[in-house]
């Protein structure tokens, strides 16, 4: 920037003559304004110093008590156990295999495996009885396999 020595008007550095007629060629360029902001490109924000206006706050300590979260294994274990029990009374041919599969899936990812083991055993025994019963009712098993000790 150059300032006209006569009228004080501001001109660009390339300007050779002021509108008032004064010669600007020997005028020294003005220093850039001290408060000028750095050029900001379109679409970019000026750099922000880190944590400006956001003082570091330490996160509160975790509570010692962690609430129990239920995983899919827990859900499958309960589902398998319930299905296995229900299968003894209703729709065993559907619920017993479901209970067996769900209990096995729950057994794989469960830490409390007692219920899963119970579900596997109950559904496996029930499924075996169910299959035996179906085969026997349809006379698909020989008598020496289906008869017990007392030949009932
Ligand atoms: Zn001038």
pTM across the whole model: 0.39
Same domain, 11 and 81: no
Question: Ligand 1 centroid to 15 CA: how many Å?
Answer: 11
What pLDDT is recorded for position 94? 73
Question: Ligand 1 centroid to 32 CA: how many Å?
Answer: 20
Question: Ligand 1 centroid to 10 CA: how many Å?
Answer: 8
Counting as low any pLDDT under 70, the low residues of the chain are 32-57, 60-70, 87, 92, 110-112, 141, 143, 145-152
The answer to whether residue 79 sits within a structural domain is yes
The answer to whether residue 22 sits within a structural domain is yes
Question: Ligand 1 centroid to 31 CA: how many Å?
Answer: 19
Query: Over the stretch 99-109, which tens digit does the pLDDT of each residue have?
Result: 778 777 777 77
Identify the residue whose tokens are 């390339």: 14
Find, among 105, 44, 97, the residue nearest to 71 by Cα: 105
Query: Over the stretch 125-138, which tens digit does the pLDDT of each residue have?
Result: 877 887 777 777 77
The answer to whether residue 11 sits within a structural domain is yes
Find, among 146, 145, 134, the residue nearest to 93 by Cα: 134
The answer to whether residue 139 sits within a structural domain is yes
Same domain, 77 and 21: no
């Amino acid at each position: 920037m150059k300032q006209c020595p006569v009228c004080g008007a501001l001109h660009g550095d390339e300007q050779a003559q002021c509108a008032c007629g004064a010669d600007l060629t020997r005028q020294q360029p003005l220093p850039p304004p001290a408060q000028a902001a750095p050029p900001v490109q379109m679409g970019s924000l000026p750099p922000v110093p880190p944590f400006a206006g956001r003082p570091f706050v330490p996160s509160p300590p975790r509570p010692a008590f962690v609430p129990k979260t239920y995983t899919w294994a827990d859900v499958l274990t309960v589902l398998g156990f319930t299905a296995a029990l229900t299968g003894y009374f209703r729709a065993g041919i559907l619920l017993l295999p479901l209970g067996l599969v769900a209990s096995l899936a729950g057994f794989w990812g469960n830490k409390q495996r007692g219920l899963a083991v119970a579900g596997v055993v109950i559904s496996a025994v029930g499924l075996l009885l169910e299959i035996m019963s179906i085969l026997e009712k349809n006379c698909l098993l020989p008598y020496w396999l289906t008869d017990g000790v007392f030949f009932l």
